[in-house]
Amino acid sequence: MSRKWLIISVIVTLGIATDQVSKWCIQNFISLPYPLIRGFFELRLRHNPGSAFGIKILSTPQLLVITVVVTAVFLLFFALDKAGNPKNQRLFIWGASFYISGAWGNLIDRLRLGYVVDFFYTPFWATFNLADVLIVLGMGLILLGFLYRGKDEEAEDSGL
């Protein structure tokens, strides 16, 4: 197994495991609600049957298909080394691995429980969980990689 595949496997495994353990701990060991920053950020248990912000946009079978397809596309990118230069590759590997672990963490909840366990609460945003953080962080890193890739291509085109 190459170093790249080892990194991807470790990130995805740790991401899913950490997400699932955090949800299990919230449901079994913490008296809720639990303020972390009073009036701003606290732990509150919410069973989210929706697909985004508590809104049921897609069904569980549709989310399963999307998660499998997106995972397969990312793995194909990894296999074909389509992420560009080493800096872009690192951003893409980390970003896609975070995204995959978050997507599968939430999908596991949907398949096992029929809803997603959310527990980070802020009064100005939807309640969310670690998987959601991984998805957003992953997409941010992927977009950052594309931005760098675009700048690298501009520099090549201008002869720099």
Q: What are phi and psi of 47, to 5 degrees?
A: -95, 115
Is residue 101 within 8 A of residue 132, CB to CB? The reply is: no
Chain mean pLDDT for the chain = 89
Q: Give tens-digit pLDDT for 94-151.
A: 999 999 999 999 999 999 999 999 999 999 998 999 999 999 999 999 999 888 766 6
Q: 86-113 vs 60-80: helix axis angle to the nearest 10?
A: 160
Catalytic residue selected from 19, 132, 152, 157: 132
Read off the DSSP letter of residue 58: S
CA torsion sign for 145, 148, 152, 153 is: positive
- The residue ranking higher by pLDDT, 145 or 46, is 46
Residue 132 is among the residues annotated as catalytic for this protein: yes
User: What average pLDDT score do residues 81-89 get?
Assistant: 69
Catalytic residue selected from 81, 109, 118, 157: 118
